[in-house]
């Protein structure tokens, strides 16, 4: 018998108790669809083929699992879990000499080692069907009509049982009816999981939250064992695909989502939100700060009260401070924007000082325009840079200027009205 099994993930449930237009299997847990967590577990088996039986939202599954090697089979009628397996009978018939592992998509706490142990027991005992059960459970097949289960089958025996039930006209029927039918031959058994939590089934949104809470602790523990410090593990929220380098310290009330990557020896302070970001080594982020779809390179600083938006790159040693927002901006090495500024669609060189209250006027009502600031430039406070505009290397822009034309290198640009004082004006006004 070929050692690589076929895996069948049952993902056709509509999730009516979720009260959602999204299929239950696609609801996310810590940044990944619930069915993707099951897929991660079954990959430990190195299956020859992996199928998912889905309902009438096949396109959504195809988008969510593009490139994941998951083959989709549409279940045209709601025939229960047994009917879902029946929908895959043609695919199973092509590999009738192999083992088949059937896994519900609503069991996101399953692990690869448990599924491997189930399959080993199934093959060692040469059972027609082996059912995964909780530790301490009776060593017997679940009763007919009971809920879904994780089962290993001999494909040939499974196909025979499905054919027999189909001829009996049993619609819909649960998977355990197939199990009971095979158990009658005496070639069936069970395997007890080491941890009962792995058999937790998500049926409601509250169950989804409970599963997320368990996986969050599992993720934080794994990072801690690799050298990451959490000052308050109970308040940190870390998605499953996040990576963090050793000697980094995560303070309380930090959220890190998506496929974010954080380097070594960083400090992430309270109330920081990071999503799909790349953070280098020795970076300090003071909260509250919002960082999404951007990069902070080695030794840079951000916050508190900073917002760094898509396509922003903060170069090594640069500092972004209080109430500063950046979008689609490259901010050069050792440059500083420490107070109350907005830089959008900008290219900022090295060793630049951005004075408080500086903004790039990047939108003219029709299109976004870029601002380019050369190395060593000093931008005085309260400056408006009306894009498209360039400030040359080493130039100085006086505070309160509105710059609408390019500034030459090492020039002083002053673009403001001359101060006028009218003596006694206030006294006359009051009269």
Same domain, 335 and 305: yes
Q: Which residues of 392-406 are buried (b: 16+ CB within 10 A; e: fewer)?
A: bebbbbbbbbebeee
Same domain, 143 and 98: yes
Catalytic residues: 339
146 pLDDT above the threshold of 50: no
In a domain, 381, yes or no: yes
In a domain, 430, yes or no: no
In a domain, 422, yes or no: no
Query: Against a cut of 0.95, is the pTM above it?
Result: no
Of 178, 199, 220, the position where a domain reaches its end is 199
Mean pLDDT, the chain, integer: 90
174 pLDDT above the threshold of 60: yes
291 pLDDT above the threshold of 70: yes
| Residue 144 confidence (pLDDT) | 43
Q: Which SS3 state, helix, strand or coil, does residue 134 take?
A: coil
Lowest mean pLDDT among 7-21, 58-72, 168-182, 412-426: 168-182
Enclosing domain of residue 138? 6-199
For residue 211, the domain's CATH number is 2.160.10.10
Beta strands per DSSP E along 91-197: 99-104, 129-133, 151-154, 188-192
Same domain, 18 and 97: yes
Same domain, 71 and 218: no
For residue 65, the domain's CATH number is 3.90.550.10
What mean pLDDT do residues 151-178 have? 79
Sorted by sequence, the CB contacts under 8 Å of residue 262 that are 6+ apart come out as 242, 243, 244, 245, 248, 256, 268, 274, 279, 283
Of 154, 172, 199, the position where a domain reaches its end is 199
* Residue 158: closest CA among 192, 114, 132, 188: 188
Of 184, 199, 214, the position where a domain reaches its end is 199
Same domain, 48 and 156: yes
220 vs 162: which has the higher pLDDT? 220
| Residue 2 confidence (pLDDT) | 56
Same domain, 74 and 141: yes
In a domain, 297, yes or no: yes
297 pLDDT above the threshold of 50: yes
Same domain, 162 and 74: yes
Same domain, 172 and 225: no
Same domain, 13 and 108: yes
Same domain, 29 and 51: yes
Cα separation of 79 and 89, whole Å?
14
What's the pLDDT tens digit per position in 379-402? 999 999 999 999 999 999 999 999
Query: DSSP letter string over 280-327?
Result: -TT-EEPSSEEEES-EE-TT-EE-SS-EE-TT-EE-TT-EEEEEEEEE
In a domain, 152, yes or no: yes
Would you give the distance in Å from CA 156 to the centre of its chain? 39
What mean pLDDT do residues 361-376 have? 95
Cα separation of 153 and 136, whole Å?
23
In a domain, 428, yes or no: no
140 pLDDT above the threshold of 60: no
In a domain, 39, yes or no: yes
Same domain, 19 and 76: yes
The CB density around residue 130, as the number of other CB atoms within 10 Å, is: 28
| Residue 82 confidence (pLDDT) | 81
| Residue 166 confidence (pLDDT) | 67
In a domain, 264, yes or no: yes
What total of structural domains would you count in the chain? 2
Same domain, 173 and 258: no
């Amino acid at each position: 018998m070929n050692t690589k099994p076929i895996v069948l993930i049952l993902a056709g449930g509509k999730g009516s108790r979720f009260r959602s237009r999204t299929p239950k299997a696609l609801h996310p847990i810590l940044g990944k669809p619930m069915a993707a967590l099951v897929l991660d577990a079954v990959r430990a088996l190195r299956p020859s083929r992996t199928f998912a039986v889905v309902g009438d939202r096949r396109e959504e599954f195809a988008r969510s699992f593009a490139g994941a090697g998951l083959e989709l089979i549409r279940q045209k009628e709601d025939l229960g879990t047994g009917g879902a397996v029946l929908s895959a009978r043609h695919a199973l018939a092509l590999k009738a000499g192999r083992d088949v592992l059937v896994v519900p998509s609503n069991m996101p706490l399953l692990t690869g080692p448990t599924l491997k142990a189930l399959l080993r027991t199934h093959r060692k005992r040469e059972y027609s069907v082996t059912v995964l059960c909780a530790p301490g459970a009776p060593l017997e097949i679940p009763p007919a009509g009971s809920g879904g289960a994780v089962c290993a089958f001999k494909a040939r025996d499974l196909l025979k049982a499905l054919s027999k039930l189909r001829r009996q006209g049993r619609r819909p029927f649960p998977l355990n009816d197939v199990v009971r039918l095979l158990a009658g031959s005496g070639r069936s058994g069970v395997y007890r999981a080491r941890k009962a939590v792995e058999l937790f089934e998500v049926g409601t949104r509250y169950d989804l939250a409970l599963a997320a809470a368990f996986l969050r602790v599992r993720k934080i523990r794994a990072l801690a064992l690799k050298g990451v410090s959490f000052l308050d593990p109970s308040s940190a929220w870390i998605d499953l695909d996040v990576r963090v380098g050793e000697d980094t310290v995560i303070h309380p009330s930090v959220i890190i989502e998506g496929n974010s990557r954080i380097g070594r020896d960083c400090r992430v302070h309270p109330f920081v939100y990071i999503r799909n970001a790349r953070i280098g080594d020795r970076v300090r982020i003071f909260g509250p700060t919002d960082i999404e779809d951007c990069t902070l390179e080695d030794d840079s600083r951000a916050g508190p009260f900073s917002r760094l938006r898509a396509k922003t790159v903060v170069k090594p040693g640069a500092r972004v401070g209080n109430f500063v927002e950046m979008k689609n901006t490259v901010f050069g090495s050792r440059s500083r924007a420490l107070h109350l500024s907005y830089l959008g669609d900008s290219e900022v060189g090295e060793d630049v000082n951005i004075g408080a209250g500086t903004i790039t006027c990047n939108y003219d009502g029709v299109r976004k325009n870029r601002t380019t600031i050369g190395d060593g430039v000093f931008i005085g406070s309260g400056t408006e840079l009306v894009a498209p505009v360039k400030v040359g290397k080493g130039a100085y822009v006086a505070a309160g200027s509105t710059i609408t034309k390019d500034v030459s290198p090492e020039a002083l640009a002053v673009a403001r009205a001359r101060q006028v004082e009218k003596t006694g004006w206030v006294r006359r006004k009051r009269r």
